[in-house]
Structure 1
Amino acid sequence: MTEEAIITGCLQFDPISQRALYNKYSPKMLSVCYRFAHNRQDAEDMLQEGFIKVFTQISSFENKGVFEGWVRRIMVHTCINFLKKQKKFSDSVDLNQADQYIHVREEAIPGIMQAKQVVECIRLLPIGYKTVLNLFAIEGYSHKEIAEMLDIQESTSRSQFTRARTMLEGILIRKKIIENPAGDAAWALNFNT
């Protein structure tokens, strides 16, 4: 079934088309949700809520841009709303917690870095750090957009991202996913703020 046929069927609330859409996009969208979630159950709940929105809002897709991108945006916003509803984003973070990690200077991650390992390390970050890092570095939102989505100041988004990057670098070094050569040189994530 083509994507166009799936969309047309979903507009008519055809269960076969809805199942086809779910089967086509759920693996990718689950990985999006998993990056924001505290655990697999939360990720699955986010995914389910997201697909309900996709099915109920599909008539608003105007064939401008890629359909998968439209679905992804709905999933990201669903994840943010889920975290807000669960009050998980408002969990306090000890700002001194980042200091216990190794501070490193900006360089490049080795090309052999395993993406799955990085995602698992991102999941270890406090929810606020993880959310801002995902939105800025992976989803491509600006700090202004993130501030609006999360009801925070733009400067808070920037500082959360900087702290997330520092903490993530420390986690990656501790887990020996990236090297920490002796002295002041170390590999670092090259995300631009």
Structure 2
Amino acid sequence: MTTEHQLVQDCLKGKPSAQKALYELFASRMLGVCYRYTKSMSDAEDVLQEGFVKVFHYLSQFRGEGDLGAWIRRIMVTTAINYLKKNSRYQFDLSFSADENHFLHPVSPDDPEMMLDAKQLADIVRQLPPGYQAIFNLHAIEGYTHVEISSMLGIHEGTSRSQYARARNLLITWLEKESESTKQTRYARS
């Protein structure tokens, strides 16, 4: 079995078999990353392909000091954000308006615990408006700070913070409604 270091070296030498192996090693995980930022599998696949073009283009800059998967993931996230910015279907609307009060939800320590698998949670997050979805994914999933997010998206740090809070509160509201619906269904069956 080829080590990641050797795989990178072989890719840098232009070996197609190594490039294919690197792609196959990371493609399925990175497709999941791309899918979190898009609204369709087709768009996610486009982002994945564009991301791997960048991976192979910038592979000489990978120093081997960190995890190769983390390095590739960062490229995929950046590629996804750039895709969202340039694709009119995903135009961010991060403005405030009076009719957005339905997003506000008091967050308390007694929020319901939900038993969700990763796919169910991802499906719920994907229902957020594109700007909220991107900010929620960048902060909650990828671990970027609001300063980093503001730089990536070209918004103010405060906007990133408020949109993250709104996305989180909206998700909590949806989860509470789902929890109530599930409880009512269970009681109806009893």
Inter-partner Cα distance in structure 2 for 1:52 and 1:77 = 13
Structure 2 partner of 1:170 = 173
Whether the aligned pair in 2 keeps the contact of 1:46 and 1:75 (CA below 8 Å) is yes
- Percent of paired sites with the same residue: 42
Larger radius of gyration: 2
Code of the residue aligned with 1:41 in structure 2: it is S
Structure 1 segment 94-105 matched on structure 2, within 5 A: 95=97, 96-97=99-100, 99=102, 103-105=106-108
More helix by share: 2
Code of the residue aligned with 1:56 in structure 2: it is H
Whether the aligned pair in 1 keeps the contact of 2:7 and 2:22 (CA below 8 Å) is yes
**Greater RCO (Cα-Cα under 8 Å, separation 6 or more):** 1
Inter-partner Cα distance in structure 1 for 2:54 and 2:112 = 37
Instruction: Return the match for 1:110 from 103, 109, 113.
Output: 113
Please give the TM-score of this superposition, normalised by the length of structure 1: 0.84
1:101-123 superposed Cα distances (whole Å, 9 cap, x missing partner)? 86542446637331211111000
- Secondary structure at the aligned position of 1:176 is classed as helix
Code of the residue aligned with 2:24 in structure 1: it is N
CA RMSD between the two structures: 2.5
Please give the TM-score of this superposition, normalised by the length of structure 2: 0.85
Give the number of equivalent residue pairs.
Answer: 181
Q: Does 1:15 align with 2:16?
A: yes
Code of the residue aligned with 1:142 in structure 2: it is T
The answer for unaligned runs of 5 or more in structure 2 is 184-190
The answer for unaligned runs of 5 or more in structure 1 is 181-193
Structure 2 partner of 1:29 = 30
